[in-house]
Amino acid sequence: MTCSLLMGILDKRAERLLRRNINAPNQVARLTDVKDFPLVFWLISVICVAYYSSIFPFIAQGDFKKTVYEGIQLDEKYSIFTEFLCKTIQLGPQDANTVNSMIYIVAAVTSPFFGIMIDKVGRNLTWVVLSILITALAHSILIFTYLNPYIGTITMGLGYSLLAGALWPLVALIVPEYQMGTAYGICQAIQNLGNAVMSILTGIVVKSGYFSLEMFFLGWLGIALIASMFVWILNTNQKRTLNMTPEERECAQELANQDQEKLLGDSEQDSSGEITPNSDFQIRNRYLSRIGAPTMQEEGLIPDVIDTAPGEVLHVTYSGGEKVHFGHELTPTQVKDPPTVQWTANQDAYYTLAMVDPDAPSRENPTFREVNHWLIGNIHGSDLESGDVITEYLGSGPPKGTGLHRYIFLVFKQSKKLQFDEPKTAKLSRAHRLNFNLRKFVKKYSLGDPIAGNFYKAQWDPYVDERVKMISNN
């Protein structure tokens, strides 16, 4: 408690002296953020559970037994490994416990040195793999050889301390700083749950003998090794920094900063010829559009609906605060009412807003492609109320059992105010919605490529059945 209070005081002082919170982004961590954690994070959690399943039960698992050793009655709880040493290698109980304790003793001594080494050398993934192999070697020494058991436990202590110094910092390289507590909390929860289950399983396996137990531990180390290989592959394919040296990470961060400075430094020329810097909204727009364009391609919206990705992000927010964000899933209940829509608009220009579902009745069999959910033309600037509503908003209603549907919002800039001759469709009407062709509509009115866009995915929920009852065919 004393140390915690002291740490809090020092951290507060550092914030004041270093002015760390000045201009800091207003980011709030939520438990729901875990659904957005990358696959690499979950694989690291698997490594954590699988690896420590070969350490903690090995040291701690045991039974209360009444046995006699050299005339001395033993009725204390000994670990299975200690009992193995007593019976097989003929060590005394105290000597056997000393051998067993070497794992923690070695880890206590070497952990700071391994930590410093990893900080200087980097290559965390390499050390994670090496530590798993070292621990597997230690278990193999103890079960397959007649070497002094101190060699096995000292080796295991080295692998144990090396993994701690290499694995845990990886979370900080994957998850944003404001989500760090959530990430480590989830990791710890998964580890504790795994330890509880492993203790139960170990108690079952040990009844088959010490050899079976060691093979059980080696199996979990194999799982940890496979998970680490997957992390390595993802790290390489996604160009992450998990296996870089500190110098390489610094270089990668510098390149990222240069990209950010480019965004911040870019400016636009207004109608009077003056150069005006981009606003925060425009900067965020351009940054997110770099994420959204490839996502639209990956999700098949290019070419299913459009041929070219929009250059900006369309900011769509529903009444409950839910935001549309490049394929994140929302429910029909959440999107039943018209959202607010925002983009970088010229207040003297006219725009068209469209929302379509290309996956009706299902993505595998889109015979009704596309469903026209919302269509407004002649929007003056960004004022939706000023536009001509061609099709009133109708939220998502994917049929039960048809899986996830994609719902894409697109904004097109008009060259002038247009006269639309499409029939009007009311909110609760199905008329003129099915088999709408956005490409033909865009070509008909020479709207060109979309300037802004976004999309979400949704699947059936109970609200859909209620909505079906309200809709008419007229």
Per-residue model confidence (pLDDT) at position 179: 81
> In terms of domains, do 296 and 217 share one?
no
> In terms of domains, do 297 and 355 share one?
yes
Residue 24 lies inside a defined structural domain of this protein: no
What whole-number distance in Å separates Cα of residue 87 and Cα of residue 304? 70
Q: Which of 347, 343, 358, 357 is nearest to 289 (CA)?
A: 343
Residue 1 lies inside a defined structural domain of this protein: no
Find all residues with CB under 8 Å of 378, minimum gap 6, and list them: 350, 352, 386, 387, 388, 414, 417, 418, 420
Find all residues with CB under 8 Å of 390, minimum gap 6, and list them: 375, 376, 377, 420, 422, 424, 425
Per-residue model confidence (pLDDT) at position 74: 44
> In terms of domains, do 189 and 338 share one?
no
CB 328 within 8 A of CB 291: no
Residue 20 lies inside a defined structural domain of this protein: no
DSSP run (H or E) holding 313:
strand 312-313
Number of domains in the chain: 2
- Domain at 34, CATH number: 1.20.1250.20
CA 304 to chain CA mean position, Å? 27
Residue 273 lies inside a defined structural domain of this protein: no
> In terms of domains, do 289 and 430 share one?
yes
Residue 372 lies inside a defined structural domain of this protein: yes
Q: How many CA atoms lie within 13 Å of 222's alpha carbon, on the beta-carbon side?
A: 7
> In terms of domains, do 337 and 224 share one?
no
Taking CA atoms, 311 is separated from 135, 264, 281, 386, in Å, by: 51, 17, 14, 24
What is the token pair recorded at 351? Answer: 């725009």
Per-residue model confidence (pLDDT) at position 88: 60
> In terms of domains, do 96 and 40 share one?
yes
What would the DSSP string read from start to end of 11-27?
HHHHHHHHTTTTT----
Amino acid at 61: Q
> In terms of domains, do 233 and 341 share one?
no
Specify the length of the chain in residues: 474
Find all residues with CB under 8 Å of 425, minimum gap 6, and list them: 372, 390, 391, 392, 431, 432, 433
Angle subtended by helix axes 280-298 and 246-265, to nearest 10: 120
> In terms of domains, do 320 and 227 share one?
no
- Domain at 386, CATH number: 3.90.280.10
> In terms of domains, do 297 and 212 share one?
no
CB 454 within 8 A of CB 296: no
Residue 10 lies inside a defined structural domain of this protein: no
> In terms of domains, do 202 and 75 share one?
yes
What whole-number distance in Å separates Cα of residue 279 and Cα of residue 324? 21
CB 123 within 8 A of CB 112: no
Which residues lie across from 139 on neighbouring strands? none
Per-residue model confidence (pLDDT) at position 86: 64
- Find the largest Cα–Cα distance for the chain: 104
Per-residue model confidence (pLDDT) at position 229: 94
pTM of the model: 0.53
Q: Write out the residue range of the structural domain in which residue 126 sits.
A: 29-248
Cα angle 57, 61, 62 (rounded to 5 degrees) comes to 170
CB 143 within 8 A of CB 84: no
> In terms of domains, do 316 and 387 share one?
yes
One pLDDT digit (tens) per residue for the chain, 474 residues: 888 888 888 877 766 665 555 444 445 567 777 777 889 999 999 999 999 988 888 776 544 344 444 444 444 445 556 666 666 666 666 776 777 788 899 999 999 999 999 989 989 999 999 999 999 999 999 888 888 888 989 999 999 999 999 999 998 888 877 788 888 888 889 988 888 888 888 878 877 877 888 899 999 999 999 999 999 998 888 767 788 888 877 776 666 555 545 544 444 444 444 434 455 445 445 545 555 667 888 889 999 999 988 988 899 999 999 999 888 999 999 999 999 999 989 999 999 999 999 999 999 999 999 999 999 999 999 899 999 999 999 999 999 999 999 999 999 999 999 999 999 999 989 899 999 999 999 999 999 999 999 999 999 999 999 998 898 876
Rg (alpha carbons) of the chain, rounded to whole number: 31
Report residue 41: phi and psi, to 5°: -60, -45
Q: Using one digit for the tens of pLDDT, what is the confidence trace for 322-351? A: 999 888 999 999 999 999 999 989 999 999
Residue 266 lies inside a defined structural domain of this protein: no
What whole-number distance in Å separates Cα of residue 147 and Cα of residue 155? 12
What whole-number distance in Å separates Cα of residue 326 and Cα of residue 454? 6
> In terms of domains, do 361 and 453 share one?
yes
Per-residue model confidence (pLDDT) at position 38: 86
Per-residue model confidence (pLDDT) at position 412: 97
